[in-house]
Amino acid sequence: MLATTFLQQADFLHVLYIVAFALFIYGLSGLTGPRTAVRGNRIAAVGMAIAVIATLLARGEGNWALIVIGVALGTAVGVPAARRVHMTAMPQMVALFNGVGGGAVFLIAWAEFRNTGGYLGEPTYFAVFSLFAAIIGSVSFWGSNIAFGKLQELLPGRPITLGRSQQLVNALVAAAAVACAVAIVAGSHSQLLFILMLIAAAVLGNLVVLPIGGADMPVVISLLNAFTGLSAAATGVALNNPALIVAGMIVGASGSILTNLMAVAMNRSIPAIIAGGFGGGGVVAGATGAGEHAGTVRSTTAADVAVQLAYARQVVIVPGYGMAVAQAQHAVRELAKALEARGVGVSYAIHPVAGRMPGHMNVLLAEADVPYEQLREMDDINPEFARTDVALVIGANDVTNPAAKTNPGSPIYGMPILDVEDANSVVVIKRSMNPGFAGIDNELYTRPNTAMLFGDAKTAVSELTAELANI
């Protein structure tokens, strides 16, 4: 009995919460490098387990059967899903998990509204934070579900818009949600009003994400992630739960930083991404398709490229989205090993937004056991291209496009790129002259030092390794 009372004392619970969020922060610092990432993740998970135990102790009574069923259901769905997911499906998995977080936040806010009879006798700040959490949590839940649907191709990836009236309708729906919240803070205890507010926020979540093209989804998911974090922090303030405040703010801050980094690396402003209409998988106006390139494109063979590679001193591999699609990372590693066995120096140039999610290339190459020291970040590798014999571009397109530096009219103008054109020779492996994500031609392909090796990345790279063995 004494032990139970001690375990439920507010001071003891606060100590547990402090330990929990200290572990979140320590764990997060481990995520800055691949060597410490797994450990960091485990440390943060221990922190979360401590926070959950503290919360269950604090509640004292409560429906234990329901809690156990909830935990069992969550484990049964979450663990196999996380184990089985393919790396290429990670963005939609994150969207789904993020949506669940937002959903939990708005349901908790609803439960608090009911438990307190519409905030009867509660301080104003409690109502304000709880309603903020409900609106943002609901936007995040519905927005994340749409993001998941688009990435999973359950919904069309192209932008679905209301045309010119889109922003006006969004503003009206947002105003309706806020008006309901204001009426509740002002003293209305009507549950109908609360439900109307949730519905308006739900419509807003759908309206905001539907106009955004499928390929912009990783940025949107990161933004929604920041929203979920903020709404969880607001719930923490309302429930007086310090661990939830800290965890929510960490998610909110890191989500905002990541969103900004991705937007900067793509040279797009966050409002422009939210305004939508880009990245629907189609080709934007002004782009040309196969064979319409201005200038001559030189095509080469695996045998010729293998000779160049065999006699090179330094080869820089530039992976992109096509390597992920072809799942060519293991074949790439085999080719690199064969080159290294001949004394050729091999490194990998990693652009911050190559592929379709942050760290996409790092994850794929780590899966193929590429030594981490060989992965070089853009700013670090760019000066090296001038000393590189062969830049081998594998399924990368936009991240190598010189138009980002030379053509002010280009949609990617200003985006930092990998300076592959500075290499002595550039070999580009892709299947056709089709554009990449930005839907624009790549003038790199018509440069005199560039040759195209047309084909699927995995097949082409395997052919190179086979040809190399004959030299």
Among the listed residues 90, 430, 467, 468, the single contact to ligand NAP using CB under 6 A: 430
Site membership for ligand NAP, residue 214 (CB under 6 A): no
206-241 b/e with 16+ CB inside 10 Å = b? ebbbbbbbbbbbbbbbbbbbbbbbbbbbbbbbbbeb
Least distance from ligand NAP to the Cβ atom of residue 209, Å: 14
What 110-119 contacts at long range (C-beta under 8 Å, 24+ apart), as own/partner pairs, is 110/134, 110/194, 110/198, 112/238, 112/239, 113/184, 113/191, 113/194, 114/191, 117/189, 118/184, 118/188, 118/189, 118/190, 118/191, 118/194, 119/184, 119/185, 119/189
Among residues 106, 128, 184, 398, the one that binds ligand NAP under rule CB under 6 A: 398
Tell me, rounded to whole angstroms, the distance of Cα 193 from its chain centroid. 35
Catalytic site includes residue 419: no
Judged by CB, which is closer to ligand NAP: 227, or 321?
Answer: 321
Confirm or reject binding of residue 99 to ligand NAP (CB under 6 A): no
The SS3 of residue 283 is coil
150 binds ligand NAP (CB under 6 A): no
CA-CA distance, 230 to 243, in Å (whole number)? 13
Residues 262 to 291 in contact with ligand NAP, rule: CB under 6 A: 262, 266
403 binds ligand NAP (CB under 6 A): no
| CB 112, CB 124: distance < 8 Å | no
450 binds ligand NAP (CB under 6 A): no
Nearer to ligand NAP, 112 or 441 (CB): 441
In angstroms, the CA 320 to CA 250 distance is: 30
Query: Which window, 139-147, 295-303, 379-387, 397-405, contacts ligand NAP (CB under 6 A)?
Result: 397-405
Residue 317: DSSP 8-state: E
Of 140, 243, 111, the C-alpha closest to 201 is: 140
Cα–Cα distance for residue pair 314/434, rounded to 1 Å: 29
Q: How many Å apart are CA 331 and CA 119, to the nearest integer?
A: 61
Rounded least distance, CB 386 to ligand NAP, Å: 21
**Spatial distance between the Cα atoms of 431 and 318, rounded to a whole number of angstroms:** 16
Q: Which stretch binds ligand NAP (CB under 6 A): 75-83, 106-114, 270-278, 319-327?
A: 319-327
- The residue of the chain with the least Cβ separation from ligand NAP equals 436
Half-sphere exposure of 453 (CA within 13 A, CB side): 27
Does position 159 interact with ligand NAP (CB under 6 A)? The reply is no
**Considering 398, 422, 441, 456, which one is annotated as catalytic?**
398
Q: Which stretch binds ligand NAP (CB under 6 A): 153-161, 206-214, 350-358, 371-379?
A: 350-358
Q: What does the block give as tokens for 279?
A: 């990245």
Asked whether the beta carbons of 102 and 137 are under 8 A apart, the reply is yes
Among the candidate windows 31-39, 81-89, 213-221, 381-389, which touches ligand NAP by CB under 6 A?
213-221
Q: Should residue 218 be labelled a site residue for ligand NAP when binding is judged by CB under 6 A? A: yes
Q: Give the side-chain half-sphere CA count within 13 A for 395.
A: 23
Total residues at interface with ligand NAP (CB under 6 A): 34
- Segment lying near ligand NAP (by CB under 6 A), choices 110-118, 295-303, 315-323, 378-386: 315-323
Does 360 help bind ligand NAP (rule: CB under 6 A)? yes
What is the closest distance, in whole angstroms, from the C-beta atom of residue 53 to ligand NAP in the complex? 36
The answer for residues whose C-beta is within 8 angstroms of residue 173's C-beta and 6 or more apart is: 200, 203, 204, 207
Binder among 358, 411, 416, 439 for ligand NAP (CB under 6 A): 358
Site string for ligand NAP, 168-207 (x = CB under 6 A): ----------------------------------------
Query: Which residues contact ligand NAP (rule: CB under 6 A)?
Result: 215-216, 218-219, 262, 266, 320-322, 325-326, 353-358, 360, 395-399, 429-432, 434-438, 456-457
Catalytic residue ranges: 398
